[in-house]
Amino acid sequence: MAQETKNKLTQLLCQRIDQQGPLTIADFMYEALQHPKYGYYNRPHVLGQKGDFVTAPEISQIFGELIGLWMLERWQSMGEPQSFSLIELGPGRGTLLCDLLRAAQLMPAFLEAADVHLVESSANLREVQRKKLADFSPTWHNDITTLPQKPSLIVANEYFDALPIRQFAKLKANKWREVLVGSNDTSELGYIMSEEIDPLQIVALGASSSSLETHDFVEVSPATSAQATLLADHLKSAGGSALFIDYGYQQAEGYNSLQAVKDHQKHDPLYEVGTADLTAHVDFEQLTRCFSQRGMNTFGPVAQGAFLSALGLEARLNNLVQNASPSEERELRSGAERLVASEKMGDLFKVLAVSSSPQTPPGFPYPNQNN
Ligand code: SAH
């Protein structure tokens, strides 16, 4: 690769590696996504048809609307508190919340009681959210530590998959090394292996010992564990429920799930850093464990398709197509199909609910055993 083709963030990371040594994948992901000047989330148009990737709320309004109905039930099940926080983590373009709040017009008292709080790190996306959600006067937070102590209903779609992961590989029997990002003489980034490390350190970071026995490759997300623990403590003291929807697996599968997407196509994560979205699959076992260990009731994860169908996707679709033109009807039907079809998003995306109450929320068959 010629020197001039390397972008600024790649150059900055190479300088940092030269001075301080190789980066963990987590540090690399953090810089690539969050660097205040060159990080991916501070680019214009990251999300949506014109951006690099499309998320469920950008595909169909039904997604946010059904989550709105779910929130109405949760609010009722809490005894209809007259003041509560409606919180979204990583709201992107604000589309989910916009659709959710429209569906919530069914219960005006819910809207009156709701204070909207957004946890968002990107200055650029905050601007988009500010315009879209102006009627609801949201309050922004850099992270979850500043959320107010009020009953809370929380939603996060494709949030945890953006949080940094660390990767470890077993090269010989029980000899583990961490996958790191280094740079070569011509200032190109590449993967390198750390010195051998004690597998107990990987367990301490959140991996299960059984996945170290079964697999030669494991991923852990200390950032996910830290945030889930804070959220569990928040829900425990303030009361409420949360819904987490993400691309992920129910049990660690032992492969490298770090992926970069640019312009709706796969991209090399180490090339032109900061110009592509970077995600990793969410380990729902780890996520669920963080909540149940702090005394929260957990439900699922269930597949997104089953969840949305149980909440009435078909009925809402039939209702919407009644007033639609033929081309709108085609779009509505293909959007809904994309959310639920098992070969599209229906099975790959999972939904986990967490609550301070043991009562099973809509869309989930039964409480988890370890609650
Ligand atoms: N939920 C939206 C957007 C998903 S993209 C949707 O479904 O369309 C991920 C979102 O999380 C973006 O808004 C991004 O800026 C935000 N985000 C990522 N990491 C974050 C962090 N550590 N703290 C706060 N927000 C973060």
Residues flanking ligand 1, CB < 6 Å: 41, 47, 55, 57-58, 90-92, 96, 119-122, 125, 143, 157-159, 162-163
Q: Which residues of the chain have pLDDT under 50?
A: 1-3
* Cα torsion 240, 245, 250, 256: sign: negative
Tens digit of each residue's pLDDT (9 = 90 or more) over 341-356: 999 999 999 999 999 9
Q: Quick one: which atom of ligand 1 is closest to the CA of 90?
A: 11
Provide the 8-state DSSP code for 7. -
**pLDDT at position 371, please?**
57
All residues at 6 or more sequence positions from 258 whose CB lies less than 8 Å from its CB, including other chains = 25, 29, 165, 167, 219, 269, 278, 279, 280
Tens digit of each residue's pLDDT (9 = 90 or more) over 19-71: 999 999 999 999 999 998 999 998 877 787 788 889 999 999 999 999 999 99
What is the topology classification, in CATH, of domain 42-164+221-355? Answer: Rossmann fold (3.40.50)
**pLDDT at position 370, please?**
63
Q: CA dihedral in degrees (246, 247, 249, 255; nearest 10)?
A: -140
Q: Quick one: which atom of ligand 1 is closest to the CA of 223?
A: 22
Domain ranges in the chain?
A: 3-35+165-219, 42-164+221-355
> What's the 85 CA to ligand 1 centre distance in angstroms?
19
The whole-model pTM stands at 0.95
